[in-house]
Structure 1
């Protein structure tokens, strides 16, 4: 989720198109820790790894070193702001770049380049991440995201046959983001009609913004770090809603984030929250911005339970090869907090398997694999090697 100030100079069209003679192009993608990642080249350099993010108003390069490697000379400064507890900060805004995905090229697309890496996305993903690709990729193409075979297919407008066995949901494009109207039922059986950003760049299932005028009915909640915004960590609470309706499909007992309201609410758009990838990846998706439609087709994992980490650990990949797993935060009152694990401790192995041979996604899966499950962790703590038995605990 990103809001950018100081960009009123964008008076020209920015979009992607298929190369001449092509009506559709398919490219592979990866899903890493609930992020859709594609590869692209910029100014004949790369390839670079970019997160596909419908919640981003325009392209963002998060790796500051690309300013020099891409030989970007025309740099204007703009102000960035977004969810988070820190101050706004500056970034460069580039002249149009030459961006290439096999069979697809950019027209007039510029980018904001961080002067400092505020996200740490490479450490979070355990692989190099160079930026976020948003609205410009979707505004002139029809984009199908098939999570069954990890293939993205882009169609020239008007060249995709009307998809069968999909439900067509009306969306609106506002502030360069797609919005969908949904129905949410809460613990007290009350229902609310909600206007949500369809945000494939958000890993959570559902997030509902602060609503002082009409607070959301919640039952059990836990305080949590909800992720990293542009200006720092996003604090708030996590609870569950009884039911979430997406078209004719219903999800029950859905985890929902409730971000704390920031003092300055000028960054909040007219919305109730956003719908993240932990729900959206349960469908094959087709975004058709020009016709105001989102097509959805359910996958076999549609009814899987929504689970959250049960260890209480947040961690990132460190070291030159991103093979070290370092704890960045321990959730108060969690199983790991009870054991005395702490920030900057390093996880060396889980059940005798070295974490250097595991992906972060494998670790995520293990740490949400079952209430009461015991795990043997080897930890480097306070300059000593130690082994502890961590008993997973579902807290919400």
Structure 2
């Protein structure tokens, strides 16, 4: 499943508030801590206890301090401790929004505990990953974990393992590549090469495990970072001040030392977006989850290095959404399901000594809450666009399957099938049902 990233880059600048150091610790008798994770839309979701409340956080290698933005489910029990009101500005030209800076919080990740964790609580409903991922997400965490441990990220087996840096011993690995990391504002950058139009171009990339895309590049003709003729304009994600757009294409290759990833997908964000996120002048782009998940990683902030070892996903082909639709989870609605039961009643006549069979039909109406999925964006000139699908349409069924019986990834995966596949959509629009048909077509054909 592939869904564009929510952009909360501006919040990473909150690190200037957090001058005091707090640390995560494992008991001395624990050599390492294994934590299983969910991988949804190429991003990692881990369980964390915050002040005794079980929550789910996205693990992002670049975020400085934990951000809680969707804690409604825990609002009655989750205490935001020692808080002060602050104002933060979102991406773009939007207004400042209210937030809380909270200190001395208790965070527990497996058996790793921090009793003095600073966090930021944001109440703006636009900062919410749940509609994009189709599952509740309560916040984001990153640097504070990576600075205190050597972190193994096993994408293949869906777990991370936290190691005490003073006790960790590197194993010899002939099939691994070890790269140096460079840090700017607590965010890790690595050096790689891209092949574009038969030219090998060195690039410095932000390592962003919280981003679902494969690769972002910033256009720069002086460096040779230019678009080919085959590209399409697309919705890239959402910021506090609106949606973010750019261009998508594929390039010939991405090289991480000996590892060559052929024909990766690349997004070129528009110049407004680049100016907003390019705080590090030498930065050429971002390497995100759709690339990182092809490896198992050892992330070592203490020694400023990262180890790559390819896994079983390494050679998976890169595919585009061929419908032009961006779909989001949009809460729940009441659904009535009708169940018909037919029972046979046997009746014997005493006079004629005959047996007759009568059918008794019973109709049951069951009401339940089911997920709702809405069209968030329709790419211009895409198959869905020409079919007449519109932003705001609520999907009722896809290829004759009730949408409320599906998960978000199951709906979206329909759009990544091979070109020519027929898609049938039944939607609700302003209280009326409308049916559409179209065939998938690759946007870079």
Q: What's the TM-score bracket when you normalise by the shorter of the two chains?
A: over 0.9
Matched, 1:151 2:152: no
Instruction: Tell me the residue number matched to 1:361.
Output: 409
Matched, 1:248 2:258: yes
Mapped to 2, the partners of 1:327 and 1:229 lie a distance apart of 18
**Secondary structure of the corresponding residue to residue 123 of structure 1:** helix
**Secondary structure of the corresponding residue to residue 233 of structure 1:** strand
Mapped to 1, the partners of 2:203 and 2:96 lie a distance apart of 28
Instruction: Tell me the residue number matched to 1:14.
Output: 22
- Kept in 2, the 8 Å contact 1:308–1:368? The answer is yes
Give per-residue Cα distances to partners, 1:298-350, cap 9 Å, x unaligned: 11221221112111111111224671111111111111001100111111222
Gap regions ≥5 residues in structure 1: none
How large is the RMSD of aligned CA atoms in angstroms?
Answer: 2.3
Mapped to 1, the partners of 2:212 and 2:82 lie a distance apart of 34
Mapped to 1, the partners of 2:240 and 2:231 lie a distance apart of 25
Give per-residue Cα distances to partners, 1:76-102, cap 9 Å, x unaligned: 334434655644534211112101122
1:258 aligned residue (263, 268, 273): 268
Mapped to 2, the partners of 1:86 and 1:334 lie a distance apart of 30
Gap regions ≥5 residues in structure 2: 1-7, 333-368
- Kept in 2, the 8 Å contact 1:94–1:111? The answer is yes
2:215 aligned residue (206, 222, 230): 206
**Secondary structure of the corresponding residue to residue 290 of structure 2:** helix
**Secondary structure of the corresponding residue to residue 95 of structure 1:** strand
- Kept in 2, the 8 Å contact 1:62–1:118? The answer is no
- Relative distance call for 1:278 and 1:126 in structure 2 (3 A) is same
Instruction: Tell me the residue number matched to 1:99.
Output: 107
- Kept in 2, the 8 Å contact 1:25–1:104? The answer is yes
1:39-78 correspondence runs (5 A): 39-45=47-53, 47-63=54-70, 65=72, 69-78=77-86
Give per-residue Cα distances to partners, 1:34-89, cap 9 Å, x unaligned: 221011111112x1111001121221111264676422253233443465564453
**Secondary structure of the corresponding residue to residue 127 of structure 2:** coil
2:434 aligned residue (383, 386, 390): 386
1:182-331 correspondence runs (5 A): 182-186=192-196, 188-211=197-220, 214=223, 216-219=225-228, 220-262=230-272, 265=275, 267-270=277-280, 271-320=283-332, 323-331=371-379
Mapped to 1, the partners of 2:153 and 2:15 lie a distance apart of 30
**Secondary structure of the corresponding residue to residue 194 of structure 2:** strand
**Secondary structure of the corresponding residue to residue 54 of structure 1:** coil
Residue 279 (structure 1) shift = 0.5
The alignment's TM-score, normalised by the length of structure 2, stands at: 0.83
**Secondary structure of the corresponding residue to residue 309 of structure 2:** strand
Aligned length: 394
Matched, 1:139 2:147: yes
Mapped to 1, the partners of 2:273 and 2:155 lie a distance apart of 38
Residue 351 (structure 1) shift = 2.1
**Secondary structure of the corresponding residue to residue 319 of structure 1:** strand
Instruction: Tell me the residue number matched to 1:345.
Output: 393
Residue 290 (structure 1) shift = 0.6
- Kept in 2, the 8 Å contact 1:182–1:193? The answer is yes
Mapped to 1, the partners of 2:286 and 2:92 lie a distance apart of 16
**Secondary structure of the corresponding residue to residue 154 of structure 1:** strand
Residue 121 (structure 1) shift = 0.9
**Secondary structure of the corresponding residue to residue 132 of structure 2:** helix
Matched, 1:3 2:10: yes
Moved over 6 A (4+): none
- Kept in 1, the 8 Å contact 2:26–2:111? The answer is yes
Mapped to 1, the partners of 2:375 and 2:27 lie a distance apart of 45
The alignment's TM-score, normalised by the length of structure 1, stands at: 0.92
Mapped to 2, the partners of 1:148 and 1:377 lie a distance apart of 34
- Kept in 2, the 8 Å contact 1:126–1:323? The answer is no
- Relative distance call for 1:64 and 1:103 in structure 2 (3 A) is closer
- Kept in 2, the 8 Å contact 1:85–1:234? The answer is no
Mapped to 1, the partners of 2:273 and 2:63 lie a distance apart of 22
Instruction: Tell me the residue number matched to 2:122.
Output: 114
Mapped to 2, the partners of 1:252 and 1:88 lie a distance apart of 42
